[in-house]
Amino acid sequence: MLSFENLALRRPRNVDVPRLGRDAIAGAISAVVQIAYCISFAALIFTGDLAGGFSLGLAGLIMGTVVTCVVIALTSTFSPVVGGPDSPAVAVMSVLASSIAAALAAKGANNDAIILNVLVALSVSTLLTGILLYGTGALKLGQWLRFIPYPVIGGFLAGSGLLLITGGMEVVTQTNLTLSPSSWEPLYSSLYVPQFFVGALFAISIPLVGRWVPSFLALPVAFGVFLLILDLVLFNFVQDGTVRSAWFMPSLGHLALWSPIAAVLRHGVDWGVILQSSGDIGSFCGVMAIALLLDVSSLEVARQKSGDLDQEFRSNGLANLLAAVFGGFGGSLSMNGCLLLDESGATTKWSGAIVGIVCAVILFSGIDVGTIVPKAILGGMLAYLGVVLLAELAASPAQRSSWVDWALALAIMLVIANVGYFMGVMLGVVASCLMFALSYSRIGVIRRHLTRQQFSSNVERSPEQSRLLREEGKRVHVFWLSGFIFFGSSNGLFERIKRVIEGQLEKPVGFVVLDFGAVPGLDTSAVLSLVKLRNYCEEHDVRLGFSGLNEVMQAGFEKAGFFGSTRPHQVFGSRNEAVEWCEDMLLMNHEVGDASTHTFESWLHAEFGGQIDFARIASYMERRELDKGEYIFRQGEPADSVVLQASGCVAITIIDEHGRPIRLRRMVGHTVVGEMGFYRGVPRTAHVIAEGPTVIYRLTRAAFEKMQVEDPAAAGAFNQLIIRLLSDRLEFANREISALL
> In angstroms, what CA-CA distances link 526 with 442, 498, 531, 556?
15, 16, 9, 10
Higher confidence at residue 493 or residue 341? 493
> Running DSSP on this structure, what letter comes out for residue 489?
H
Beta-ladder partners of 388:
none
Tell whether 515 and 612 lie within a shared domain: no
Sequence-ordered list of residues with C-beta below 8 angstroms from that of 355, at least 6 positions apart, any chain: 27, 30, 31, 34, 65, 69, 73, 82, 337, 341
Tell whether 428 and 542 lie within a shared domain: no
Q: What is the mean pLDDT of residues 365-390?
A: 77
pLDDT of residue 464: 75
Higher confidence at residue 286 or residue 17? 286
Domain boundary among 589, 614, 636: 589
Higher confidence at residue 595 or residue 540? 540
Sequence-ordered list of residues with C-beta below 8 angstroms from that of 354, at least 6 positions apart, any chain: 23, 24, 26, 27, 28, 31
Domain boundary among 408, 435, 462: 435
Structural domains counted in the chain: 3
Share of the chain above pLDDT 70, in %: 86
Pairing of strands 694-700, 543-547: unpaired
- Contact status, residue 329 vs residue 123, Cβ threshold 8 Å: yes
Tell whether 532 and 558 lie within a shared domain: yes
pLDDT of residue 680: 86
Helices 487-503, 524-539: crossing angle, 10 deg rounding = 10
User: If you count them, how many residues does the chain have?
Assistant: 741
Q: What is the mean pLDDT of residues 156-178?
A: 74
- The CATH number for 486's domain is 3.30.750.24
> Running DSSP on this structure, what letter comes out for residue 251?
P
What is the three-class DSSP state of 101? helix
Tell whether 610 and 481 lie within a shared domain: no
Higher confidence at residue 347 or residue 354? 354
- Whether the pLDDT of residue 401 is over 70: the answer is no
Q: What is the mean pLDDT of residues 448-470?
A: 82
Q: φ and ψ at 580, to 5 degrees?
A: -60, -40
pLDDT of residue 318: 95
Q: What is the mean pLDDT of residues 341-354?
A: 82
Closest CA to 537 of 515, 510, 565: 510
Tell whether 486 and 552 lie within a shared domain: yes
Please report which confidence band the pLDDT of residue 148 belongs to, taking 50, 70 and 90 as the band edges.
Answer: low
Q: What residues make up the domain containing 570?
A: 444-589
Q: What is the mean pLDDT of residues 180-189?
A: 70
Report the amino acid identity of residue 337: G
DSSP-assigned letters across all residues of 292-321: HHHHHHHHHHHHT----HHHHHHHHHHHHH
Closest CA to 689 of 661, 723, 729: 661
- Whether the pLDDT of residue 216 is over 80: the answer is no
Closest CA to 82 of 124, 123, 35: 35
Q: What is the mean pLDDT of residues 63-84?
A: 92
- Contact status, residue 473 vs residue 452, Cβ threshold 8 Å: yes
Q: What is the mean pLDDT of residues 57-72?
A: 92
What is the three-class DSSP state of 624? strand
Please report which confidence band the pLDDT of residue 12 belongs to, taking 50, 70 and 90 as the band edges.
Answer: very low
Buried b (16+ CB within 10 A) or exposed e, 672-697: bbbbbbbeeeeebebbbbbbeebebb
- Contact status, residue 252 vs residue 54, Cβ threshold 8 Å: yes
pLDDT of residue 145: 64
- Whether the pLDDT of residue 184 is over 80: the answer is no
Compute the distance between CA of residue 257 and CA of residue 114 in angstroms, rounded to an integer.
17
> In angstroms, what CA-CA distances link 385 with 284, 389, 548?
19, 6, 56
Sequence-ordered list of residues with C-beta below 8 angstroms from that of 222, at least 6 positions apart, any chain: 202, 205, 206, 209
Least confident span in 298-312, 428-442, 600-614, 723-737: 428-442
Compute the distance between CA of residue 338 and CA of residue 334 in angstroms, rounded to an integer.
6
pLDDT of residue 382: 76
Tell whether 288 and 141 lie within a shared domain: yes
> Is 551 inside any structural domain?
yes
> Is 11 inside any structural domain?
no
Tell whether 573 and 620 lie within a shared domain: no
pLDDT of residue 542: 92
- Whether the pLDDT of residue 72 is over 70: the answer is yes
Q: What is the mean pLDDT of residues 169-184?
A: 70
Tell whether 466 and 361 lie within a shared domain: no
Please report which confidence band the pLDDT of residue 4 belongs to, taking 50, 70 and 90 as the band edges.
Answer: very low
> Is 357 inside any structural domain?
yes
- Whether the pLDDT of residue 481 is over 50: the answer is yes
- Whether the pLDDT of residue 731 is over 90: the answer is no
- Whether the pLDDT of residue 232 is over 80: the answer is yes
Q: What is the mean pLDDT of residues 420-425?
A: 65
Tell whether 315 and 408 lie within a shared domain: yes
Q: What is the mean pLDDT of residues 411-439?
A: 72
**Highest mean pLDDT (candidates 28-37, 200-209, 236-245, 488-497):** 200-209
Compute the distance between CA of residue 294 and CA of residue 156 in angstroms, rounded to an integer.
12
Sheet containing 459-460: give its strands across.
459-460, 661-668, 649-655, 687-690, 631-633
- Whether the pLDDT of residue 737 is over 80: the answer is no
Sequence-ordered list of residues with C-beta below 8 angstroms from that of 710, at least 6 positions apart, any chain: none
**Highest mean pLDDT (candidates 125-134, 464-473, 581-590):** 125-134
Q: What is the mean pLDDT of residues 453-459?
A: 82
Higher confidence at residue 295 or residue 740? 295
pLDDT of residue 402: 67
Please report which confidence band the pLDDT of residue 7 belongs to, taking 50, 70 and 90 as the band edges.
Answer: very low
> Is 240 inside any structural domain?
no
Tell whether 264 and 378 lie within a shared domain: yes
pLDDT of residue 595: 47
- The CATH number for 686's domain is 2.60.120.10
- Whether the pLDDT of residue 398 is over 60: the answer is no
Compute the distance between CA of residue 288 and CA of residue 93 in angstroms, rounded to an integer.
11
Count CB-CB contacts under 10 A for residue 585.
18
Compute the distance between CA of residue 170 and CA of residue 1 in angstroms, rounded to an integer.
70
- Whether the pLDDT of residue 122 is over 90: the answer is yes
- Whether the pLDDT of residue 254 is over 70: the answer is no
Beta-ladder partners of 410:
none
> Is 30 inside any structural domain?
no
Please report which confidence band the pLDDT of residue 264 belongs to, taking 50, 70 and 90 as the band edges.
Answer: confident
Compute the distance between CA of residue 548 and CA of residue 578 in angstroms, rounded to an integer.
10
What is the three-class DSSP state of 407? helix
> Is 336 inside any structural domain?
yes
pLDDT of residue 607: 77
DSSP3 helix / strand / coil % (the chain, rounded to 5): 65, 10, 25
pLDDT of residue 356: 92
**Highest mean pLDDT (candidates 506-515, 560-569, 642-651):** 506-515
Least confident span in 181-190, 206-215, 264-273, 306-315: 181-190
Tell whether 513 and 415 lie within a shared domain: no
Domain boundary among 388, 409, 435: 435
Q: What is the mean pLDDT of residues 74-91?
A: 86
Closest CA to 431 of 446, 444, 414: 414
- Give 534-588 as a 3 state SS string: HHHHHHCCCEEEEECCCHHHHHHHHHCCCCCCCCCCEEECCHHHHHHHHHHHHHH
Count CB-CB contacts under 10 A for residue 561.
12
Residue 105 burial by Cβ neighbours in a 10 Å radius (0-12, 13-18, 19+)? middle
Compute the distance between CA of residue 47 and CA of residue 69 in angstroms, rounded to an integer.
26
- Whether the pLDDT of residue 559 is over 80: the answer is yes
Count CB-CB contacts under 10 A for residue 257.
14
> Is 208 inside any structural domain?
no
Least confident span in 351-365, 408-422, 457-471: 408-422
Please report which confidence band the pLDDT of residue 3 belongs to, taking 50, 70 and 90 as the band edges.
Answer: very low
- Whether the pLDDT of residue 692 is over 70: the answer is yes
Q: φ and ψ at 591, to 5 degrees?
A: 55, 45
> Is 607 inside any structural domain?
yes
Residue 413 burial by Cβ neighbours in a 10 Å radius (0-12, 13-18, 19+)? buried
Share of the chain above pLDDT 90, in %: 17
- Contact status, residue 77 vs residue 303, Cβ threshold 8 Å: no
Tell whether 320 and 399 lie within a shared domain: yes
Average pLDDT in the chain: 81
- Whether the pLDDT of residue 201 is over 60: the answer is yes
- Whether the pLDDT of residue 399 is over 60: the answer is no
Q: φ and ψ at 446, to 5 degrees?
A: -85, 110
Please report which confidence band the pLDDT of residue 174 belongs to, taking 50, 70 and 90 as the band edges.
Answer: low
